[in-house]
Structure 1
Amino acid sequence: MNLSVIERRILPWREPLAVARRLKDRPGAIALLSDCGSLGRWSFVAADPDQIHVGGLDEGLQLLRQPDWVRQTVGLMAYDAGARPATGPRPAAWPDLILARYPAMLAFDHAGQEVIAIGRGPGRPAAIVAADRAEGWLEAAVSPTAPPPPPAASFDADAPSDAYTAAVADVVQRIAAGELFQANVARSWSGSLRRQGEPFDVVLRLAGRASAYGAYWRLGDRALVSNSPELFLTFDPTTGRIETRPIKGTRPRHADPALDAALAEGLASSAKDRAENLMIVDLMRNDLSRVATPGSVRVERLFEVERLPTVHHLVSTVSARARPGVGAADILQATFPPGSITGAPKHQAMKVIASHEPPRGPWCGSLFHLEDGRMTASVLIRTAAFERVGDLWRFRTLAGAGIVADSDPAAELAETDSKIRALREALVGS
C-alpha cells in the first residue's frame, strides 16, 4: 500500500508525553520527544506501523530510496552496521537497521501549541481513516502523574574503571605513534528493571531533563529510550540543505552558579576541547562533501557552549547543499556512523574502538524520522537499549569520551560519569 494521499487536521494542544503514555504498549509505539528548545520545536507520536523492515543496512537503505518509504517512516541504524567495514564481522547486538512506516502520526508543535493529526493512504478514504486513528490517540491521552519510583534493581559497570583508564592510555599511545588522531572510547553499564518496571518509566523519569532528541520506541521484546542532545543530520529535499551539529567537549554542571559559569568558560577556552571538536568538524566536512554540491560545505558556527541539565557541551554546526538527485538514504550512507562518536581518521578509529569494546548495538547509532523525504536524525548518545528476557527487561547503556594526544585517563573516566548521570538517576535514582 502506498501513502501518497495525506489528510491533516489541526487539533487542540495536549502534551506529547501524555499521548505516548497511552500508546506505549501498542505495536511499534514511537515517541520522538523534544525539549521545546531552539532545536526541539516538534515532537511526534505514533503506533501501529503498516510495514516494518528488520535486517541488513544495504537492503534497508534501498527501501529508503523508494517514495513510499520516505513519506512517514522512523528508522534506527545500529552503530555496528556502519562500523563493520572497518571492524570486520562481529556478533550483532541489535539488528543493523530497523524501519517502520506509519500511516497515522501526531505532530506536536511546541511553539504554536497545536497538534496535527496526519493520516496517509493510497486514497482519500484510507488517509481519513488513518487521521481518525491519530485523532483518537489524542483524545485518549492520559496526563502523566508524578514520576514512578526508580525502575531498575541494578546499574552495574560491565568492566572495572581501571579497564577504561587502561583503554584510554592505550589510545593515547596509538595517537603518539601516529596511528590516528582521535578515538571515542566508551564504557558500558547494564542491569535489569524490577519485575513491575518497564522502559517507559525511564522516559517519565527523564521528563524533567528532556533533550532536543529524546525518544521511546517499543518493538516487541526490544525497546529504546534516548535522551540525546546531539543532532546527527537534518536534510530538506526542497532546498537541498544538509546540517550536522557534532558535539565534542564536555564539562559537568554545578549547583553553584559562579562555579557552573566557570566550568562553561573553561570548556569554551580549552585548547584541548577545541582541537578535539575541530577534528570532528573537519571529518564531517569531508563526509558531507561526498554528497554535496562542490563548494557548498561550510562551517556556520564553531565552538558554541550548549548548556544541558547535567553537562555543558561544545557544539559546532556544519552545513552543505546536496547534489541533485541525492536523498536521505545517500546522505546516511555517506556519513554513518557519526564522526563525533568514532574519531579521526574514522576508519582507523573504528578499528581501535573495536579492539577495546564489544559491539555497541543502538548506542551511538542513529534514530531518524522521515517525512516526505525530509529527515531529522539524532546521534544515539544518552541512550539505553532494552530487551525483555522472560518477564524482566534487561538494559545496557554506554558513555564515551573523545581521546586525543593529551587526554588524561582519570579525567576521561570522570567525563563518562558526568555523561551517564541523568540516565543512571532515571534508572536507579542515584
Structure 2
Amino acid sequence: MWREAFEGCDAAEAARRLRPLGRLAFLDSAAPGGPNGRRSAVLAAPFAGFTASLEGASLGTERFSGCPFAAIDQVLARYRAEGDDKTRLGPGLAGFISYEASHFTEELRRTPDFEPARPLIALGLYDTALVFDHETGRAEIVSSGFSSHLNAASPLALREAQARRRIGEFRKALSTPPPPDPAAPAQALVWRSDRTVETYAAMVERVRDFIRAGDIYQANVARRFEADLPEGFDPFGFYRVLRQVNPAPFAAYLDMEDRVVASASPELFLRLRGRDVETRPIKGTARRMADPEEDAQAASALLASAKDRAENVMIVDLLRNDLSRVAEPDSVEVPSLCALESFAGVHHLVSEVRARLRPEEGIGSLLRASFPGGSITGAPKIRACDIITELEGRRRDLYCGAIAHLGFDGAADLSIAIRTVEFEAGRARFGAGGGVTILSEGEAEFRETATKAQRILDAFAAYAAGSTIEPGDGSPS
C-alpha cells in the first residue's frame, strides 16, 4: 500500500468533497472514542463492483458459481495487499449485505415479496481511501494501486504509478470546493408504520406461543417505517443531520446508485484482524432520560432486568456456536457479558465474544457460519428466521443485514444494519424491532421499538422540518 499524509478538513467535510467522484462510501465513527470509534474512512470511485443475488454472483461481467460468500474470498485473494494498523479501514470492498443473503447458505422460507434477481450483496472495490485516526488526529490517503487491469499479481512499479495517480485525484477533489448543498425540502415526510400497538403486541404473543411450543427460545421481530420522499430530498444532507442527532461508532453513508444507505448503527457484527475475530451483540435497551438521576435509574434498571439479561445470554451462546464452526478448538471466549454501554438516546447491554479462525478459513467462511447476526434473529437461529418471515410477512432488505468493509489487507469490519435508513425509488424506509422472550409483554416491546426509532425520526424532522407519523400507525413518542 502507498500512503501520503493529509491535512485540510475533517472526515465529514472530506466526504462532502469526495462525493462528486461517485459511489461514496463514508465509514464514519461519528461517536469517536474507544476501540470502536478510532477511525473513519472516506472511499469513492470504485474501479469495479461485486453483486450477488439468488441468480448468481458477479464482478463486472465475470460470473462466479457456488456460494457468493465463497466468491468474496476469491475476489479478496485476487486483490491481496499487505497492510498494517495504519491501513485499517483503507482500500477494500465496501457496501452492504442484505438480511435475505441468509438464503445463500440456508433453505429458508421466503416472503411473498421476495425477488430472486434483487441484489442481496452490493460491494464496491475501492482502490483508494482517506483514513482518519481520531486517536492521533492524523489522516492519510492510502492507495493499493489496484484497478480494473491491475491486481496482486501485477508488477509493483505499475501499481505504484496507479496509486500515486489516484492519490493525486483524491487531493485534487479534496482541494476543490464542492457544489452548494441542496436546500432542505420544505415539504415534510409523513411516515407510515406497518404495525399498530395492537398488531405488534399480537405478533409478540405469537412469538411467545412458539416459545411455549418449544420451537424457539427467542426471536427478534420488527416493524417497518416508510415514507415518500419530497422533491429535492438529499439523502447525504439528511445523513449529515443524522450523524449529529444520533452519533454512533458504526455510522455510515453508502451511495450504491440505485440504493442509498444512511446508518447510525451502534452494533459491531464482526471484526477480523489477522485470524482474530470479535463480535459484540446488543440485547437490552432502555431509553435515555434528560434528568441525570432518572437516566442513572434507567441504566440501573436495565442492568437488573432478568428479561434483558436472558435475551443477551441466549444470543451470546448462539454466537459462540456460530464462531465455533470456523474457529480453532477452545479459542472461543466471552471477555465481557451484559456490560452497560450508553449511546445517544438509549442505554444498551452489550457482550463481547472472541475467537481465532482456523488457518484455512477467511471472511467468506466466517460469513457463511455467522450471517445473519444472532442478535437480530433469535435462537435457534434457523427456526427463528422462518418465524420472523411468517410473522413479519415482508422482506427486511438491508435492515438487520450488515454494512461491510472487507480490506485488501485481510482485515474486516461489519456492523449490524440497525438504526439504518434505505433510500430507494423515491422512498425512505427503516425498521425497528426487539428480541421477544417468554417474559416479554406486547405493549412494552412496542415502546422499545418506538425508542429505537425516535432518533431517526428526530433527524428527519430536523432535516425536513415537521415530519410526522400517520395517526394510528404507532406514535414513537
Which interval holds the TM-score relative to the shorter structure? over 0.9
Task: Name the structure 2 match of 1:161.
Answer: 197
Secondary structure of the residue aligned to 1:82 is: helix
Q: Which residue of 1 aligns with 2:64?
A: none
Where in structure 2 are the equivalents of 1:45-194 lying within 5 Å?
45-56=42-53, 58-59=67-68, 61-66=70-75, 67-69=77-79, 72-83=92-103, 85-90=106-111, 91-92=114-115, 95-121=119-145, 122=150, 123-140=159-176, 148=184, 152-194=188-230
State the match for 1:217 in structure 2: 254
Residue 397 of structure 1: which of 430, 433, 452 is its match?
Answer: 430
Residue deviations 1:206-235, cap 9 Å, x none?
Answer: 122210110111122210111000000101
Aligned partner of 2:405 in structure 1 is 369
Structure-1 residue corresponding to 2:63: none
1:18 to partner: Cα distance: 0.7
Where does 1:338-377 land on structure 2 (aligned, <5 Å)?
A: 338-357=373-392, 358-371=394-407, 372-377=409-414
Question: Which residue identity is paired with 2:242?
Answer: L
- Runs in 1 of length 4+ with deviation above 6 angstroms? 143-147
Aligned to 2:310: 275
Pair 1:249-2:290 in alignment: no
Q: Secondary structure at the match of 1:186?
A: strand
How far residue 23 of structure 1 moved from its aligned partner, in angstroms, is: 3.2
Match in the other structure for 1:14: 9
- The change in CA–CA distance for 1:16 and 1:353 in structure 2 (over 3 A counts) is same
TM-score (norm. length: structure 1) = 0.92
SS in 1 for 2:219: strand
Equivalent position SS for 1:99: strand
Shift of 1:60: 5.2
Unaligned 5+ residue runs, structure 1?
A: 1-5
Map of 2:446 onto structure 1: 413
Quick check: 1:147–1:205 contact (8 Å CA) kept in 2? no
Deviation per residue, 1:348-376 (Å, 9 max, x gap): 10011001121000111011112211001
Q: TM-score, normalised by structure 2?
A: 0.84
8 Å CA contact 2:422, 2:429 repeated in 1: yes
Distance 2:395 2:243 in 1: 29
Q: Give, in angstroms, the shift of residue 332 of structure 1.
A: 1.1
Aligned residue number for residue 206 of structure 1: 242
1:150 and 1:273 map into 2 onto residues whose CA distance is 41
Partner of 1:37: 33
Render the CA deviation track for 1:149-190: whole Å, top value 9, x for unaligned. 787522211233322111001101111111100000000010
Q: Any unmatched runs of 5+ in structure 2?
A: 58-66, 82-91, 151-158, 468-477
Contact 1:79 1:364 in 2 (8 A): yes
Letter in 2 for 1:102: Y
Aligned length: 419
For 2:135 and 2:172, the matched residues in 1 are separated by 23
Q: Which residue of 1 aligns with 2:155?
A: none
* Matched residue type, 1:413: F
Q: What is the deviation of 1:117?
A: 0.3
For each residue in 1:303-361, what CA deviation from the matched residue of structure 2 results, as whole angstroms up to 9, or x when unmatched? 11110111000000000011112111111111000000000000010011001121000
Shift in CA distance, 285/147, structure 1 to aligned 2, threshold 3 Å: farther
Distance 1:16 1:212 in 2: 14
Aligned with 2:74: secondary structure? coil
CA contact (8 A) 1:151 1:197 kept: no
Deviation at 1:205, TM superposition (A): 1.0
Tell me how far apart the structure 2 counterparts of residues 100 and 365 of structure 1 sit (CA, whole Å): 17
Choose 344-353 or 53-62, whichever is displaced more: 53-62
Cα gap change, 1:218 to 1:411, in 2 (>3 Å): same
Contact 1:251 1:311 in 2 (8 A): yes
How has the CA–CA distance of structure 1 residues 227 and 141 changed in structure 2, closer, same or farther, with 3 Å as cutoff?
farther
- Relative to structure 2, which stretch is displaced further, 16-25 or 259-268? 16-25
Residue of structure 2 aligned with 1:236, choices 273, 280, 291: 273
Distance 1:80 1:69 in 2: 27
Whole-angstrom CA distance in 2 between matches of 1:367 and 1:379:
7
Residue of 423, 426, 430 corresponding to 2:456: 423
Q: In the aligned structure 1, how far is the partner of 2:197 from the partner of 2:339?
A: 31
2:221 partner SS: strand
Question: C-alpha distance in 2, partners of 1:235/1:105?
Answer: 19
Write the distance in 2 (CA, Å) between the matches of 1:212 and 1:150: 31
Contact 2:334 2:352 in 1 (8 A): yes
Q: Which amino acid aligns with 1:96?
A: L
Asked if the contact 1:18–1:142 (Cα under 8 Å) also holds between the matched residues in 2, the reply is no
